């Protein structure tokens, strides 16, 4: 299969999942607003959603793909079965601990709510109801990694749709078919998320069992050095792969001290995650296996070249997305969320947080791409160290900026963390001799910036002509900005016919 066809399949699945995620969050805002119940639900939903996003973007792929790719098919299938069995038992144990200690976890997730006993109790309830999604999506992600290794991307792309689809269906039923209080609505949604995760796991399990070639073989798990290394690598890989999600989790804890701070941060981050999540899914599903093969072949120059070309593509998407989100933050927040229980003041607060988060989008995207090389080379310590540095910077900057600027300052702290994370990943690669920006990368970035500036001027002019756009006019502005950017990118040489030829080349 050509790289472009694989990219389109994974990319379309990722985009479809995030479009459904947008619909889900619009319905969240309409049903729950941004008050105490919404803060409680979104604080509880943050932990399982954190895990879902990390593993959904291929967070465990760096541990599984390089290890399984070195084994013979039968041995790889048996080892894959061992890993799934052991992880399944461990995750069931973890879920039991969470169910027992949900009260303490609620306090850790939202320490700012400690003075509001009723709200904190809701956080604990929603945590108990929603956390069972975690073992389902983790096992589904591991199964998807095995499918990716064998070039089967359909289930990987489509299975995550089950979660958002299930939640949207529940929201429609709750809003139109049932008469419930806000706290009861949130409880239904929390329980529905766990059932939707089970549906996602069923889709992947069906894909693994289909076909003539056995991809996974189950048996009594055998303890082996490889299984031990995979288990030990699990946490570092998740932490390194989900660095930005950890930054947001820390920011959420700080935001819990501000009224509606959790909600504003959640809705803004959901918008920002669309381009970032797309690049993460493409990187882990497509770039990582390619880099792993080149590393196994000992072709260092090819790794650097592939990395630079991937970074060009990532910035080709991330830089205009960052600029557009900053310029269109207020109308986007209003059109997407301002209805039902979500008020105009909430839209304004969400817009300011979105602008601050969008500043860090290019750095977060660059770190996602560059970290794939560290994963492919097995340098998990360097990737984990970079993630820890970014987390420390996020906490320090958020605390320093929160008091003068509130939730907006916390979001700025996340952007500082993304910048520090990207610099740390690049420094780690440089130590291994795998970070060497070539002239082609620098020239391409300058051309992209010219196209982004052209698009930004067009968007500002459009907003002056329509200062308060509705859904249709905002869609037209976005499509017009995309068209301007595409034409400017072609004129400036940021996109060429050679790019398309490289993408369609058989892998």
pLDDT reported for residue 57: 55
Residue 491 lies in a domain: no
Looking at the 3D structure of the chain, how many domains does it have? Answer: 2
Q: Report CA 151 to chain centroid distance, whole Å.
A: 22
Does residue 392 sit in helix, strand or coil? helix
Which residue range is the domain that position 83 belongs to?
1-241
- Whether residue 250 contacts residue 391, with contact meaning beta carbons closer than 8 Å, is answered with yes
Q: Is residue 91 in some structural domain? A: yes
For residues 207 and 286, membership in a common domain is answered with no
Of 208, 226, 241, which residue is a domain's last? 241
pLDDT of residue 101: 92
According to the model, what pLDDT value does residue 191 have? 92
Task: Report whether 355 contacts 323 (CB < 8 A).
Answer: no
- Please state the pTM of the whole predicted model: 0.74
Is 430 inside any structural domain? yes
Q: Both 235 and 371 in a single domain? A: no
pLDDT of residue 464: 92
16, 137, 297 from 28: Cα distances, Å: 18, 21, 48
371 shares a domain with 345: yes
Query: Does residue 217 lie in a domain region?
Result: yes
> Sign of dihedral through CA atoms 25, 26, 29, 30?
negative
Of 241, 269, 297, the position where a domain reaches its end is 241
pLDDT digits (tens, 9 = 90+) for 242-273: 788 889 989 999 998 888 888 899 889 888 87
Q: 310 and 207, same structural domain?
A: no
Q: 224 and 269 share a domain?
A: no
- Which DSSP state fits 112? G
For residues 249 and 299, membership in a common domain is answered with yes
Looking at the structure, tell me whether residues 51 and 162 fall in a common domain: yes
Predicted confidence at residue 446, as pLDDT, reads: 94
Q: Which of 215, 241, 267 is the last residue of a domain?
A: 241
Task: Identify whether residues 68 and 141 lie together within a single domain.
Answer: yes
Q: Which two tokens stand for residue 269?
A: 């981050």
pLDDT at residue number 1: 45
Tens-binned pLDDT, residue by residue, of the chain (507 aa): 444 455 555 556 666 777 787 788 888 888 888 778 888 888 888 888 777 766 655 556 666 766 777 777 777 777 778 888 888 888 899 899 999 999 899 888 888 877 666 888 899 999 999 999 989 888 888 887 777 676 666 666 677 788 888 888 888 888 776 778 888 889 999 999 899 889 888 888 888 877 666 667 777 777 777 677 766 666 666 677 778 888 998 999 999 888 888 889 988 988 887 777 665 555 444 554 555 555 555 556 767 777 777 788 788 888 999 999 999 999 999 988 887 778 888 889 999 999 999 999 999 988 888 887 777 666 778 888 899 999 999 999 999 999 899 999 999 999 999 999 999 998 888 887 777 777 888 898 999 999 999 999 999 999 998 888 888 999 999 999 999 999 999 898 887 665 555 444 444
Task: Compute the distance between CA of residue 257 and CA of residue 249 in angstroms, rounded to an integer.
Answer: 14
DSSP string, 106-118: HHHH-GGGTT-HH
Residue 482 maps to a domain: no
- With contact defined as beta carbons under 8 Å apart, do 165 and 132 qualify? no
In degrees, rounded to 5, the angle at the alpha carbon of residue 501 between the alpha carbons of residues 495 and 504 is 115
Separation of alpha carbons 387 and 376, rounded Å:
17
Q: Rounded CA gap, 7 and 422, in Å?
A: 24
Measured between alpha carbons, how far is residue 313 from residues 138, 195, 255 in Å?
A: 28, 36, 34
- Burial level of 223, CB count in 10 A (0-12/13-18/19+)? exposed
Q: Which helix (H) or strand (E) is 300 found in, with range?
A: helix 300-327
Residues 234 and 381 in one domain: no
CA–CA dist 26, 16 (Å, integer): 15
pLDDT of residue 503: 46
In a domain, 353, yes or no: yes
Asked whether residue 262 is assigned to any structural domain, the reply reads yes
Indicate if 189 and 307 belong to the same structural domain. no
Same-domain check for residues 54 and 133: yes
Determine the 3-state secondary structure of 318 from DSSP: helix
Q: What is the pLDDT of residue 176?
A: 77
If asked whether residues 334 and 298 sit together in one domain, one would say yes
Q: Flag whether 478 is in a domain.
A: no
Spatial contact of 131 and 98, defined as CB atoms under 8 Å apart: yes
């Amino acid at each position: 299969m050509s790289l472009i066809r694989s990219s389109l399949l994974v990319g379309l699945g990722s985009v479809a999942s995030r479009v459904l995620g947008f619909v889900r969050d619009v319905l969240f805002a309409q049903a729950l607003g941004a008050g105490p119940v919404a803060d409680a639900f979104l604080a509880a939903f943050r932990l399982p959603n954190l895990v879902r996003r990390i593993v959904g973007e291929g967070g465990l792929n760096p541990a599984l793909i390089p290890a399984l790719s070195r084994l013979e098919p039968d041995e790889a299938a048996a080892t894959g079965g061992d890993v799934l069995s052991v992880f399944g038992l461990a995750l069931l144990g973890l879920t039991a601990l969470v169910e027992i200690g949900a009260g303490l976890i609620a306090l850790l997730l939202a320490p700012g709510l400690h003075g509001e006993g009723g709200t904190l109790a809701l956080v604990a309830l929603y945590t108990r109801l929603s956390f069972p999604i975690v073992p389902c999506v983790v096992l589904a992600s591991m199964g998807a990694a095995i499918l990716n290794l064998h070039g089967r991307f359909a289930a990987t792309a489509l299975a995550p749709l089950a979660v958002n689809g299930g939640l949207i269906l529940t929201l429609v039923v709750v809003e139109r078919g049932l008469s419930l209080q806000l706290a009861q609505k949130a409880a239904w949604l929390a329980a529905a998320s766990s059932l939707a995760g089970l549906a996602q796991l069923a889709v992947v399990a069906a894909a693994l069992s289909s076909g003539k070639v056995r991809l996974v073989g189950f048996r009594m798990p055998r303890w082996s050095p490889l299984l031990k290394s995979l288990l030990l690598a699990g946490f570092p890989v998740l932490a390194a792969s989900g660095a930005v999600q950890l930054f947001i989790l820390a920011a959420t804890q700080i935001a819990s001290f501000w009224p509606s701070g959790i909600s504003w941060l959640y809705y803004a981050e959901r918008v920002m995650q669309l381009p970032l999540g797309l690049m993460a899914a493409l990187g882990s599903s497509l770039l990582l296996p390619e880099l792993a093969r080149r590393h196994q072949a000992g072709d260092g120059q090819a790794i650097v070249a592939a990395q630079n070309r991937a970074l060009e593509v990532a910035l080709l998407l991330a830089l205009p997305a960052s600029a557009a989100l900053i310029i269109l933050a207020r109308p986007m927040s209003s059109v997407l969320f301002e209805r039902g229980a979500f008020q105009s003041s909430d839209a304004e607060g969400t817009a300011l947080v979105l602008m601050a988060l969008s500043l860090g989008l290019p750095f977060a995207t660059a770190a996602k791409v560059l970290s794939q090389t560290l994963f492919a080379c097995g340098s998990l310590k360097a990737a984990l160290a970079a993630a820890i540095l970014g987390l420390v910077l996020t906490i320090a900057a958020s605390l320093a900026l929160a008091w003068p600027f509130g939730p907006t300052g916390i979001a700025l702290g996340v952007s500082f963390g993304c910048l520090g994370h990207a610099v740390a990943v690049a420094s780690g690669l440089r130590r291994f001799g795998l970070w060497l920006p070539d002239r082609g990368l620098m020239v391409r970035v300058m051309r992209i910036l010219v196209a982004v500036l052209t698009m930004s001027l067009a968007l500002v002019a459009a907003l002056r002509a329509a200062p308060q756009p509705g859904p249709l006019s905002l869609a037209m502005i976005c499509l017009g900005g995309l068209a301007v950017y595409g034409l400017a990118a072609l004129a400036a040489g940021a996109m060429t016919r050679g790019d398309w030829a490289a993408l369609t080349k058989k892998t």
